Amino acid sequence: MEYISTHRITRGVTEVQAPSLCSLLIVQPDPVKEAHAPKAATGAKSRITTNGWSDRQGFVLVPESEPDTLDRDRSIDPKARDAYLRAVEREWVRTYLLAAEHPEARLRFRLTPEALQVIARHYAVVERIKRQPGTRAEAWGKVIGRAVRIARCFAQLDVAHLDPAVEHPITAAHMQSGWHIAEWMLRSFDAATGAPETVTEDSLITAAADYIRHRIPMIGATVQRPAVRSSKRHGTYIPAAIDVLAGRGEVEVRGQEIIRIHLG
């Protein structure tokens, strides 16, 4: 964020070179649901859902949880807990020391071409969701950016030596992990607040597989991969759909040719 300087008559001057704020807010689910519910009298959306504030937060709401018992085992795996604490301490310390030793330096991370392909696939899902009636389009429009920021955290965990002079990679695996978390956050929130059910990547791959089946409906029928890949509606998911159909033994791929070998 930008440099901040405040001047107070009785408290003097406060300067912050690189301000940032990470917050964790835990609220009981019902007040959050009530805040997002439409107004009872008019049916209009609540202010918290129309002013963009909530769309910029990483809310997680779990609709239901398993029944609790007094003697329930609430212990956390010591190995998992210790590994988490070590990672948090390690990243905080070395990031702080780097900033102290090189105040003007900035760590640089860049998405690899493979990570960009992961983004492209999920971006297509997001655009479909945003066009669905009743969805929180603005919130879904910010999910890719949130996933990238989470992926950048995973990427730093894999860097042995933080060097401002080096451009560190955010790989496809980092990006996919970031997407899993960001998507889960939004879908859990939507489920808890009664938002319309939205499309998923799996459903779009299934639709693409059905499209290929339609193009080659009989055993022995063939179609060229570019012919189905050029579909405006299904093209993004054709490669994954081909893998699914080949794995089920429905098609065989020879170069650019897709051959129907079994009616699933």
* pLDDT of 45 strictly over 70: no
Residue with the two structure tokens 């709401």? 61
- The dihedrals phi and psi of 101, each to the nearest 5 degrees, come to -80, -30
Please give the Cα distance from 124 to 131 (Å, whole number): 11
* pLDDT of 175 strictly over 90: yes
Within 13 Å and on the Cβ side, how many CA atoms surround 103? 3
Per-residue tokens: 193: 């607040």
Residue with the bigger pLDDT between 140 and 195: it is 140
Of 124, 158, 155, which is closest to residue 140 (Cα–Cα)? 124
Determine how many CB atoms are found less than 10 A away from the CB of residue 121.
Answer: 19
Per-residue tokens: 132: 């669905």
Q: How far apart are the first and last CA of the chain?
A: 55
Within 13 Å and on the Cβ side, how many CA atoms surround 200? 9
Please give the Cα distance from 132 to 258 (Å, whole number): 32
Please give the Cα distance from 63 to 189 (Å, whole number): 8
Give me the pLDDT at residue 149, please: 93
Spatial contact of 84 and 157, defined as CB atoms under 8 Å apart: no
Residue range 172-185: mean pLDDT, rounded:
95
If you count DSSP H runs as helices and E runs as strands, how many of each does the chain have, helices first?
Answer: 10, 7
Of 263, 244, 242, which is closest to residue 253 (Cα–Cα)? 242
Of 182, 177, 154, 175, which is closest to residue 59 (Cα–Cα)? 182
Residue range 15-35: mean pLDDT, rounded:
69
Residue spans of the domains in the chain: they are 79-192, 201-260
* pLDDT of 102 strictly over 70: yes
Local confidence band at 58 (pLDDT 50, 70, 90 cut-offs): confident
Report the SS3 class of residue 139.
helix
Determine how many CB atoms are found less than 10 A away from the CB of residue 82.
Answer: 11
Low-confidence winner among 35-39, 141-145, 203-207, 218-222 (lowest mean pLDDT): 35-39
How confident is the model over 200-239, as pLDDT tens digits? 888 889 999 999 999 999 999 999 999 999 998 888 889 9
Local confidence band at 13 (pLDDT 50, 70, 90 cut-offs): confident
CATH placement of domain 201-260: 1.10.10
Distances 159 to 155, 169, 186 between C-alpha atoms, Å: 7, 9, 29
How confident is the model over 66-77, as pLDDT tens digits? 677 778 777 888
How confident is the model over 239-254, as pLDDT tens digits? 999 999 999 999 999 9
Give me the pLDDT at residue 20, please: 67
Give me the pLDDT at residue 12, please: 80
Local confidence band at 14 (pLDDT 50, 70, 90 cut-offs): confident
Local confidence band at 186 (pLDDT 50, 70, 90 cut-offs): confident
